[in-house]
Amino acid sequence: MKVWYRNHIGDARECRISILDHGLLYGDGVFEGIRITGGRVFRLHDHIARLERSARAIGLELPLRGAALATAVLDTARANGEAEAYVRLVATRGVGELGVDPASCVEPELFCIVASLRMFPAEVRAKGLRLLTSWLRRPAADMLDPQVKSLNYLNNVLAKRDARLKGYDDALLLNSIGRVTEATGANLFAVIDGTLVTPPTADGALPGITRDSVLKMRAEMGAPVECRSLTRYDLLAADEVFLSGSGAGLVSVASIDDTPIGSDARPLCEQLRETYGDYAARHGVAF
């Protein structure tokens, strides 16, 4: 596992982050998860732009910006040398005094990890995921805006843990009024009456890069797409449900709360998965 840290690339075990870093103590930081596909970093500049927006939203001054950030990612990817991998680009508030006040943090930290990531085993992906509707709710946008890709993932962690303890692959997260948001680490899509539908960010869905790519790929096919509110009922009645994410890729959902979704055939997810390789090649940056 290769890591870029303070202009040096080395093994992850060589990297040292202080236990007084507010990213560790309070989850004060932002990150990006980026996919390397076919030896190209997928939509790198869009990821960097989103990281910069997230940092600006929480008042975090990044040590590097723009082209310098892209260079750090590409250098780490090159050192890793794998054509299929996952990138985690992280910025934290840095070392500061104990207490949530970030004023004492004067030197933000930045690091980039490139490694393999397997969110779901191959046999699970082949069968389709079994989702559990979580009793935990996604925080409202006026509490923690989902457009900020922050290090505050405890809500997701606990939902995932609960699902796994109960024998499911992942959890479906709803917001406080029962609208669908996403899974614990991926966006969600449903095929309803031939239209590809995904929840809007206003309901609590992260504006995912892969999500955006799926919408654009589907539009290139000349087929209808829509961002609108969904309920659990809508998913149970859908012809097809699948997840999308930099880590997850595109993976079908077989059931929600043990209720089968559609039929065993999941044609759109399979079609998009076949299209994704070409799309990634056209929108990736070689290293």
Domain positions in the chain are 2-115, 122-286
pTM for the predicted model, two decimal places = 0.92
Both tokens of 18, joined, read 């202080």
Q: Which CATH architecture does the domain made up of 2-115 adopt? A: 2-Layer Sandwich (3.30)
Both tokens of 201, joined, read 């960010």
122-286 belongs to which homologous superfamily? Answer: D-amino Acid Aminotransferase, subunit A, domain 2 (3.20.10.10)
Count Cβ atoms within 10 A of the Cβ of residue 35 and give its class: 0-12 exposed, 13-18 middle, 19 or more buried: buried
Question: Could you list the pLDDT tens digit for every one of the 287 residues in the chain?
Answer: 889 999 999 998 888 899 999 999 999 999 999 999 999 999 999 999 999 999 999 999 999 999 999 999 999 999 999 999 999 999 999 999 999 999 999 999 999 999 987 788 888 888 999 999 999 999 888 888 888 999 999 999 999 999 999 999 999 999 999 999 999 999 999 999 999 999 999 999 999 999 999 999 999 888 999 999 999 999 999 999 999 999 999 999 999 999 999 876 678 899 999 898 899 999 999 99
